Amino acid sequence: MRTAEGATSPVRDRQIRTALVEHLRAKDASAAILHELPLRRGEHRADVAYVNGVLAGYEIKSDGDSLARLPSQVDGYESVFEYSTVVIAPRHLKATREVVPKRWGIMVVEVSPNGLRFHDVRQPKRNQQVDRRAVVRLLWKEECVVALRSQGVQVNRDDLVSEIWPKVEALPIRTICDCVRAALKARDAVGSGLR
């Protein structure tokens, strides 16, 4: 952002996140957007998750961020998201290209007179190798029960979630992804986002 003297100050994570959510909502106002979505039962967190017909993750790297954790974050995102995009300050572009898979989208955030602007360097491509176990573990216990019952599978609400997860994992991957998207959209509708 511009200072009073006209110099450009570093763009912070919070500024990027706010502008990114506005950018995504402008494209699709009906999408669910969740912040800090736990991946792999909290081993990683997605900065922003977008849900509407697809499950997409956005990892933010501001001017003040290092890319040191990005390789392990890529693994977390790859396990659950159908589409992944890294949103970066311009200084990270060269190094990011070397770290993220070619199927990842890359967006550069730039300062403009009207605020922050996003430039698509590369569009994301579908990840065909999501990990059904990791995707299922995005669901809370009650969401697992709903998913199974919607598919005609009998399940006892009193069962431990560790006993319920394998039953959900046995569903076709497309069905699992549909159930997870529906559950995340329902969370966003009630404004919870996290538990």
> pLDDT per residue over 13-33, tens digit each?
889 999 999 999 998 999 999
Domain 13-122: top CATH class: alpha beta
pTM: 0.88
Tell me what pLDDT residue 114 has: 84
Q: Are 177 and 82 in contact (CB under 8 A)?
A: yes
Higher pLDDT, residue 112 or 169: 169
Tell me what pLDDT residue 191 has: 58
Instruction: Report whether pLDDT(3) > 80.
Output: no
Instruction: Report whether pLDDT(98) > 90.
Output: yes
Tell me what pLDDT residue 48 has: 96
Per-residue confidence band for 8, with pLDDT thresholds at 50, 70 and 90: low
What ranges do the domains of the chain cover? 13-122, 132-189
List, for residues 120-140, the tens digit of each pLDDT value. 999 999 999 999 999 999 999
- Retrieve residue 124's tokens: 């994301």
- Looking at the chain, how many residues does it have? 195
CA angle 3–120–90, rounded 5-degree value: 40
Residue 58: which of 135, 139, 124 has the closest Cα? Answer: 124
Give every CB contact of residue 31 below 8 A, 6+ residues apart in sequence.
24, 25, 50, 51, 52
Residue 62: which of 116, 128, 4 has the closest Cα? Answer: 116
Q: Are 116 and 8 in contact (CB under 8 A)?
A: no
Phi then psi for 141, rounded to 5 degrees? Answer: -55, -50
Residue 138: which of 45, 70, 25, 58 has the closest Cα? Answer: 45
How many CB atoms are located within 10 Å of the residue 167 CB?
18
